[in-house]
A = this chain, B = another copy of it.
Amino acid sequence: MNSALRRKQIVYAARQVFSRKGYHAATVEDILTEAGIARGTFYLHFKSKREVFGVLLGSFTSALEMNIKRVSTTPDAPPVLDQMMGNVERLLTILINNLDLTRIMLHESRGIDPDFDRKLGEFYDNVLALIQLSLKHGQEMGVVRPCDIEVASHVVLGSVRQVMEIVIGAKKRPVSADQLGRALLDLLAGGVFVRA
């Protein structure tokens, strides 16, 4: 079989397994069974269990990062607010459409390996930086309230992360990305409490 194809097959099997049992509880054996291949074959394509996990996690965070568009302030660009809303909506859509990977990223990727912790940290830092950039532009444009931008970026990211738990927790009835996005964006826009 084509090497690239085989890799994909293994990554896919690993995705199922990690999603089902978590990284530590999952054994290489589980992945082999899921993929229907032999032990040696696995190590022919990946250096280690960790590597597959890294690939899985890395490609997901990449996909996410690629969908966060830098806000543009050129005259013909859409309103900054719309761009920011678009980012959140796009992320939610990807996350909801890949709930297994989302679960892995949110619940299973910490404490496996200092390397992953660092990578994941960098991912979140990048996301935060992008959010902060957006917010700065937004403030310049007057569409973002004067506020502590660092904290605000964490509020946005944290809200998105936590809100995903609703979707993860909802076993059978899938949650609509649209509806959830609207509710979330409404809150991010207007705040929770009534302004004093």
Q: Which residues of A contact B (CB under 8 A)?
A: 22-25, 81, 84, 106-108, 110-112, 117, 121, 124, 135, 138, 142-145, 147-148, 150-152, 154-163, 165-166, 169, 180, 183-184, 186-196
Contacts and interface: CB of A to CB of B under 8 A. Distances in A.
A17 to B, nearest CB: 13
B111 A183 contact: no
Contacts of A162: 154-155, 157-159, 161-162
A81 B193 CA distance: 8
A189 to B, nearest CB: 4
Contact of A191 (B24, B135, B189): B189
B189 A195 contact: yes
Nearest to A151: B183
A190 B145 contact: yes
A102 to B, nearest CB: 13
